[in-house]
Amino acid sequence: MENKIENNVSGKSVSRSVGGVADRLSGIEEYYFSTKLRQIDEMNKAGKNVINLGIGSPDLPPHPDVIKTLSEEAEKRNQHGYQNYKGSPVLRNAIAKWYKRWYDVDLNPDAEILPLIGSKEGIMHICMTYINPGDSVLIPNPGYPTYRSAAKIAGANVQPYTLKGENKWCPDFAELEKQDLDNVKLMFVNYPQMPTGQLPTNEMFTELISFAKKHQVLIVHDNPYSFILNDHPMSLLSFEGAKDVVIELNSFSKSHNMAGWRVGMLCGAKERIEEVLRFKSNMDSGMFLPLQLAAAKALELGQDWYDSVNAVYKKRREKVFELLDLLKCAYNKNQAGLFVWAAIPGNYKDGYELSDKVLNDCNVFITPGGIFGDAGNKYIRVSLCATAEKLDEAITRIKIR
């Protein structure tokens, strides 16, 4: 029921809704996975025991030393107050050392790093910091849906740029040059790319920086997958001239199995960090100090940690390949990240049809590629965040359907 109130303004009766939703939410729907999880929950209540291969939420735990640090620090009496909006110096120094060790990027921990309550928060902060109503934002298609929704909430005109398999899921700069770029303020990029798992190349990153400088566009590089099934982690900030036009988001969620901890980072030039902080400091406070100290401990982990995590994902990926073969999907075996992206067979209209069939017939949920943009309509995405046993059960269910 819609509640109405009436005011008498200048002798006129004015009717309006109580708590009417702001115009900025026009065209913004509830996040796909939020609604899908409710459906799966109802199926499970009915005894379906759905195997969820949709969401990339790591089921493996963080390193024991990280959990130990959190526990020990949380027991201290003086660790529970408000924290610095710029984050603990301990965490910022750890991030700077981590970036230097793995990406060969020099960052000033006092000026070029901003810890975040998850990198998803950072996407919203960046959009609210830089976008005025009417500005345009280049959004990858297919790409992470939050880029689009955050930009639209901030008042932007969304300009999708299509990524294609024949172009190795990299931006087609010749096609981009044909677009009207006069009002473009930001461009979101994400490599290793999600959902396609495409790895970046030096040539593509170099061309991206040149494009940004030519058109005075700020590049927002979202980089949470660089350590997952990838032997050569890369940062866009490692390329010459990048700090002039690039800010980079990174996260502990995938690389350190800390998705629920909500710890991320924004890295870039001093001016950019200060600009985003102007917005962020009015929206939240610094995160719980023991979380920051545990995150700093996570960044001290060596190659053995990443190798152990990837050994598990490699075994799971082989099982996902087997599952996709049963569905007669086509895929590239050289993908990075927590998912496998695959083209559906021609007898299905789109990935939604195949996803719904597997869910209804087999009680297995896989993600339709269309939620990442219409360029993903003929694809599905399968998560590696399920045990080998669950993947074997999913394979069995699909075999006997």
Q: What tokens does 19 get?
A: 């708590």
pLDDT tens digits, one per residue of 102-131: 999 999 999 999 999 988 899 999 999 999
Q: Which of the residue ranges 22-36, 209-223, 231-245, 374-388 would you say has the lowest mean pLDDT?
A: 22-36
Same domain flag for 264 and 252:
yes
pLDDT of residue 1: 44
Residue 13, domain member (yes or no): no
Same domain flag for 146 and 109:
yes
Same domain flag for 239 and 221:
yes
Rounded CA-CA distance 282/132 in Å is 18
| Whether pLDDT at 389 is above 60 | yes
pLDDT of residue 355: 94
| Whether pLDDT at 337 is above 60 | yes
- Domain span holding position 236: 64-301
Rounded CA-CA distance 316/345 in Å is 22
Residue 5, domain member (yes or no): no
- What percent of the chain is predicted at pLDDT more than 90? 80
pLDDT of residue 34: 74
pLDDT tens digits, one per residue of 227-260: 999 999 999 999 999 999 999 999 999 999 999 8
The letter for the amino acid at 133 is: P
Number of domains comprising the chain: 2
Model confidence, pTM = 0.91
Q: What tokens does 388 get?
A: 């080998």
pLDDT (mean) for 309-325 = 97
Residue 2, domain member (yes or no): no
Residue 249 β-bridge partners: 222, 266
Question: Is the dihedral angle over the CA atoms 302, 260, 99, 316 positive or is it negative?
Answer: positive
pLDDT of residue 2: 47
Same domain flag for 273 and 326:
no
Q: Which of the residue ranges 24-33, 161-170, 327-336 would you say has the lowest mean pLDDT?
A: 24-33
pLDDT of residue 103: 97
Same domain flag for 135 and 244:
yes
Same domain flag for 253 and 326:
no
Same domain flag for 284 and 314:
no
Same domain flag for 255 and 125:
yes
Band (284; pLDDT cuts 50, 70, 90): confident
Residue 6, domain member (yes or no): no
Higher-confidence residue of 6 and 212: namely: 212
Dihedral (Cα; 176, 145, 317, 368), 10-degree rounding: -100
Last residue of a domain, one of 275, 301, 327: 301
pLDDT of residue 124: 95
Q: What tokens does 332 get?
A: 């590239």
Residue 160, domain member (yes or no): yes
Same domain flag for 286 and 340:
no
pLDDT (mean) for 333-349 = 95
